[in-house]
Each structure stands twice: as C-alpha cells, then as structure tokens.
Structure 1
Amino acid sequence: MPPLPPVAAESFLPLDLRALPRQLAAEARALVTPGPRMVDEWACIASVMLAIVLAHWIGARMVAWAAFTAFVLMKGDARETTLRGVLRIVGTGCGAALALALVPLAARSLPMAMASAALVGTVSLYGMLTARRAYAWLLVGLTFEMILLDKLEHPTLDTYAFAQTRLLEVVAGTIACVAVSLSVGLFTRGMASAAPIETPSRMYWHPAAARHAAQAGVTLALLPLLHDLAGIPELAQAGVTIMAVMIVPVTGLASGGLAPVSRRLLHRAIGCLSGSALALTVLLVADGSVPVLVAGTVAGILIGRHMENGSTRAPYIGLQFTLAILVVLVPDSYAAAEIRPGVQRLASILIGMALLEPVLLAWHAVGGRRIARDGSIGEVRGSE
C-alpha cells in the first residue's frame, strides 16, 4: 500500500485550542459589532426566511432545499449572487431534464440505477472542477442524483412533478436571495464600489480531476445498492454529501484527493453534528410551536454564518452547521413538524460520509503509486 499523502496533524483542526478562549471572545464581540459582517449575516437570515415563505406559497415539496439555496447563494457582491443564482437555476433545470429522460428507465433495474448514478455524478463533478460555468455543472449532478434516489425510495413518485418542484424550490431560493442581495447593495451602495467579476478560463482534459470525479461516481453508485439491500430512507442527502465534499482545489489533486477530502469530511461531520445537536434541542423544546422553530432557525443561521465569516481555518464547518439547522428545523409543513424527517436526513448525510472514505482509501491503496504529476489549473469556484 502506498504511503498516505503527508498532512500535518494540525491541518485537520479548525482552531488552535490554546487560543480558543481568546478567539471565542473576539467572535462574540464581532457578533454584535455593526459593520459589513453583521450586514451579511442578517442578509442571510432575511434571504432564508423569504425563501421559506415563497416555497410554502408555491407548495414546494422540500422547503429546506429552497432555504439552503437562499443561504449558499448569498455573496458580498450582488452581481456575483445573481450570477450564481442564474447558474443554479440553469444547472437544476438541465439536471431535472436529464432525470426526466433517464430516471424512469434507470429506476427499473438496479444495475441501470447504479450506472446512471455513477456516470452523471462523475461527469457533473468533473465539470464542476474544470468547466467555466462550474456551479451549473454541480447542480446538474445534484439534481439528477436527488431525483433518482427519491424515485428509488418512492417507486410511485411522479418524476415530472418531482422535477418541477425541485426546480421551483431553487427558483424560490434564488429569487429570495437575489432580492435581498440587491436591496442590501442598494442601501449600502456595495455595487458601486464592487470589483469586476473575474471570468474563469475555459478548461480542458485534466486526468487528476477525472480520477477524482470517478471516485465520487463509484461512491454514488453504491447508494442505489444500499437502498436495495437495506431500504434506508432519505438517501438523496447522502448523494448531495458525496458530491459536495469532493469539491476541492484542483491544484492539490496531482498528489491525490484523499487528504483534502478527508479534511472536508471531518469539517462536515463537526458542522453537521454540532448544528444538529442545536436543531434537535430546539425541535424538542418547540414541541410543534412555529414561533420557537422560526426563532431557532434564525439563531442557527446567525451562528452558522458568523462561523463561516470568522477567522478560523475551517469556514466549511459554519456552512455545514447551517445546513444541519435548515435540514432539521425547516419542515415541509409547519403544521406537521416532527423530529423523524430531520433525523433521517441527518443520518443520510452521515451515511454519505461513511461510504466515501473507504472508497478514497481503497482507490489510494490501488492507484496511489500511479498518480500523475499534473500542472496547476487553479481552484474550484463554488461549494455546497
């Protein structure tokens, strides 16, 4: 077995534990200090709350996805937020169209389901790592995997209606985020002084990125098999997890993706577990009370975004903290809010992480000695 990539142990730690009390005090002060950081955090709250209202209004099937869309799209520059929103809608639309064409056939047999999950996941992640409109490529894969896995879980599911509601959820989240971002930009005059948006250069064949994407494809292929063997619900969140943690800078893939992906897995686990602990506590205290659920959601978004904007070396923890909050505390219907769907979605996220790491280790053991020394082509441009 080839040696593991050299990674310093401290690189896996999000904080210097010796400086932790001082950092926590500084972050607490920043939480109540007026300025761009506070504006961004409350803009995220407004964006998510508006997305939830819009998603309920249009009858979306998974309101949490609209809320998460509104959260991840929010950037300091309103133009960048708008561009990412357009790419998210285009990618979701293309992924939904692809699902309408392939999922009815793929869902009929386990080998076809596994093959389609692997192929679409591999191609879309490769596009995410190397293409000019990377964010749209990511959403193609995420949308297809979610529709496929939900269809396998619910064979009688109307694929067209489900693809339509998935697109509506993204549109609701995008409209909410862009509206809030433009309003904030107008009141703060942020757009007038914004720097020009850089257009990523077009990229072509990159072997290291292709190998990396193939590892994700192999792992995604295991999800239909796992569902067939164990009947685990909500595996769509596992598919999202697998693709999201594989988004790492392409510059580091020449020496293999095991170390950076493992680090993201660790940070995702820390964020999800800490966020879910808070969310489940709020859910139990609320006991169906909508005001308590909304207050808990607001507090969770504020804490998560504050962590993401902070001075730690792991902003991804803050993003995943917020994801757990939204997955658990934003039900599809407040009238029927319960703990079970949130726990199932959280378990699915952990299953995705548990499946991916053995695949990475096995791939490294078999092919680590043959990793090519590819040139640097820059970092990926987006994440979930």
Structure 2
Amino acid sequence: MTVSSASLSSSPTPGPAADSDPLAPRLVDEAECVASVLLAILVAHHIGATHVSWAAFTGYMVMRGYPLETLRRALLRIIGTALGALACLAVLESPLGGNMVVLAMAMALAGTVSLYGAITGRHAYAWLFLGLTFAMMLYDRVAMPLADPRAFAVMRMIETLAGTAACMAVSLASAWTLRRRWPAIRAPKPQGVGWRPDALLHGARGGLALALLLGLATLWDLPSLVSGAITIMAVMLIPVTAVDGPNGLRQVSRRLWYRLLGCLAGGSLAALVLGLAALLHGPARAALMLAGAAMGVALGRHLENGNHGRGYVGTQFTLAVLVVLVPDSWEAAHIAPGFDRLVGILVGMAVLEPVLLLGAALSRVRTAVVPANQRSEAGGV
C-alpha cells in the first residue's frame, strides 16, 4: 500500500512540554487514527457506502500528524483512485475489453507503470492507488462478470472521499488542540529520483506477476483474486535502493511474511471480538464491534510507529481487524472477509515468489557474465 509501505504512519516527536512523557506523542497519533476511523465509519454508513471498510481503511492510512501532510496524502489518494478507475473503465469498455489476453497485457502495463511511479516518483501515493484501483476493478470484473464496473468506480470514490473527509476533520481538530502540546515530526518533502532502469525492471516483475495471476484465473477457479492482486502490488513497494538483485527478493519476501503475520494476528483478534458480538444484537453488537475496531486501530498504530523495523506488521494487523469488524451491516458481520484477505495473501505469494526467484537468478547470471569494468559503470546509473 510509500510511499514506502514500511513507513505508512507518522512517528510523532515529543514537543518541549512532552519530554517527561515520551509516549504521549505516539498516543496522540493513535488517538487521531482511532477518531478518524470511527468518523469514517459513521460517514460511510450515513451515505450508504457499499464497502464501509474501505472508508475505514482510508481514514487510517491517510492520517498524518500535520493537516497539510494529511491533505496532501488525501488528495494523492483521491487522484490516484480516480485515474485508476478511469483507466480501467477505458480498457473494460473498449471493443477488446472481453479479451483475456488484452486484459492481462493491460494489467501488466498498469502494474509496471504504477509500481515504477510509486517507487521513484514524487507523487508516489497517487501512483500506487492508480495501480491498485485499476487492479481491483479489473479482477473484480473477472471474478464477477455481471457486475457493473462503473458502479464500483463511483462507490470506491465515494468511500475514499468519506475516509479522507474524516481524516481532515480529525487532523484539523487535533492541530488546534492536542498537537499544540505534542507536535508530530514533519515528513521530509518528497523527492523524485529520476530515471532508474532497475526500478522499472522491478516494477515489470510485479506487472508480470499480476498478468500471471489473471492468466491462472482463466484456467482455474482461483479464490480471492482481488486480495491476491493487492498483495502483489503492496509487497513490491520497497525503497528504490533495494530493488536490484537478491536484496530486492529479500525485501519483498520479508514484506510478504510481515503481511501474513499481521493478517493472522489481526484476524485472530477480530475473530474473538466477532464471536463475542454474535451473542449480542442491535446497538450492543455494533458498539462492541466498534470498540474492537478502535482497540485494533490503536494497537496496530502503536506497533507501526515502533522503532523495530516491523511497522508493516502493525499496518496489516489494523487492516485485518477493520476488514472483519467494519461490515456493511452489523447484523451480517462475518469472518469471511478476513479469510478472503488471508487467502489472497497466500495466492499473491504463490504467484509472485516464483517470478522474483527467476528474476534474482537472471540477475545473478547477468552479474557473472558482465565484465567487471562494465559492471562498475552500470552501477552508477
């Protein structure tokens, strides 16, 4: 989902008045996220969103410690979502929109371009959501051929706007109150890195995996296609300095395992809360599930903001909690969305890892064949 996905949260810094309590700024950040998610859920239910959890996701992922940073991230998510939806609609509604070969080629191109832009571009978050939205709409159409992609696009924009509006409201309120005492760290101004052939190759590997997933889906009834595609794109999002050679394979594999671990841990908490909520009805059930979601958001953000290098586990913990405990209907809540997310991770892993292993092997062969003097020159690209 950097935009390095390893650092999707703001790590607050203590202000002068917070020196005696170094945890206070992190607690403020966690409280902002909880408030943003709960407000996003309320807004999404009020406007009749069909995927309330996506609004909650947005309310969590967009939140930053300064309103201008939150606004910038919100705008990039909105722009990326809109462009990805328009691009996918153009493909699906073209004369060749029913040809699976054409769809696979379009998915490979969209995935490659999106990942390259997300790794190297100044507006990385928009590039990421261009590709994610394209993939979600395309795989949703393959999984449900009779579904209307226009309805999906419109509702995804509505859910994104609900989440970003909640984020901005909470961010502004916090800036006028809590953040005066416990300010956050200002993120460095995003910078592009220029032309990077190694990043393009890395993006192409992700695009190839996405196309292979689509091809395999035409041969077998693969489960959780959308979740599998999201997994491939999200874990391929690594720092540009790590994309070349075996290091890229290690980085992506680590993110895959962190994603799996976070999903299992968050899903376990969500299953426990859901089991207790099943004993209740009406407002009591909704209140318990909202309390569980709030607890999951706070715990996940706390882990995400830690100085242990495993913040991605916290992100996935939170999203796994939200996908289960934020249903479109409280009475129809079910563990199935969490299971779908888990299966999607395994499907994405099964498709992506062979592509990465092959790429790493070819990279080693190239390194062994290219003369040392040419290798040193190429390393400066």
Common fold: TM-score over 0.5: yes
Contact 1:329–1:342 (CA under 8 A) maintained in structure 2: no
After TM superposition, the structure 1 = structure 2 runs for residues 318-329 of structure 1, keeping only pairs within 5 Å, are 318-329=314-325
Which residue number in structure 2 is paired with residue 15 of structure 1?
none
Matches within 5 A, 1:144-293: 144-190=134-180, 198-256=188-246, 257-287=248-278, 289-293=285-289
Note if contact 1:251-1:375 (Cα within 8 Å) is conserved in structure 2.
Answer: no
Mapping of residues 332-371 of structure 1, within 5 Å: 332-370=328-366
Aligned residue type for 1:307: L
Looking at structure 1, the residues matched to 88 and 42 of structure 2 have their Cα atoms a distance apart, in angstroms, of 27
Structure 1 residues 251 and 73, CA gap change in structure 2 (3 angstroms): same
Q: Quick one: which amino acid aligns to residue 306 of structure 2?
A: G
Letter in 2 for 1:144: F
Give the 3 Å change call, closer, same or farther, for CA 320–193 of structure 1 in structure 2: closer
Q: 1:194 to 1:297 in 2, by over 3 A?
A: closer
Give the counterpart of 2:92 among 82, 103, 109: 103
Amino acid at match of 1:132: R
- For the residues of structure 2 that align with 1:298 and 1:192, how far apart are their CA atoms? 21
Q: Aligned pair in 2 of structure 1 residues 231, 81: CA closer, same or farther (>3 Å)?
A: same
Partner Cα separation in structure 1 for residue 195 and residue 315 of structure 2: 31
- Report the CA distance between 1:337 and its aligned residue: 1.4
- For residues 192 and 331 of structure 1, what CA distance do their matches in structure 2 show? 34
Residue 141 in structure 1 maps to residue 131 in structure 2: yes
Identity %: 47
Sort the Cα spacing of 1:40 and 1:202 in 2 relative to 1 into closer, same or farther, 3 A.
closer
Deviation of residue 367 (structure 1)?
Answer: 3.2
Q: What is the CA–CA distance in structure 2 between the aligned matches of 1:309 and 1:365, rounded to whole Å? A: 35
Instruction: Note the C-alpha offset of 1:189.
Output: 4.4
1:196 is displaced (CA, Å) by 6.5
Paired residue type of 2:250: A
Q: Take 2:192 and 2:181, find their aligned partners in 1: how far apart are those partners?
A: 27
Preserved contact between residue 146 and residue 236 of structure 1 (Cα < 8 Å): yes
| Candidates 52, 57, 67, aligned match of 2:41 | 52
Residue 316, structure 1, aligned to residue 312, structure 2: yes
Amino acid at match of 1:279: A
1: CA distance between counterparts of 2:226 and 2:161?
19
Indicate how the Cα distance of structure 1 residues 191 and 210 shifts in structure 2: closer, same or farther if over 3 A, else same.
farther
Cα 1:191/1:202, change in 2 over 3 Å: farther
* More off after superposition, 47-56 vs 101-110: 101-110
Moved more, 216-225 or 83-92: 216-225
TM-score of the superposed pair, with normalisation by structure 2: 0.84
Asked if the contact 2:81/2:129 (under 8 Å) is kept, the reply is yes
- Aligned in 2, Cα 1:347/1:309: closer, same or farther, shift over 3 Å? same
Task: Answer whether contact 2:296 2:321 (CA < 8 A) is retained.
Answer: yes
The CA distance in 2 between the partners of 1:91 and 1:71, in whole Å, is 17
Q: Which runs of 5+ in 2 are unaligned?
A: 1-20, 368-374
Going from structure 1 to structure 2, the CA distance change for 1:375 and 1:190 (only over 3 Å counts) comes to farther
Corresponding residue to 1:70 among 59, 67, 91: 59
RMSD: 2.4
State the Cα deviation string for residues 303-333 of structure 1 (Å, max 9, x = none). 1111112232211111111111112221122
Match of 1:119 in 2: 109
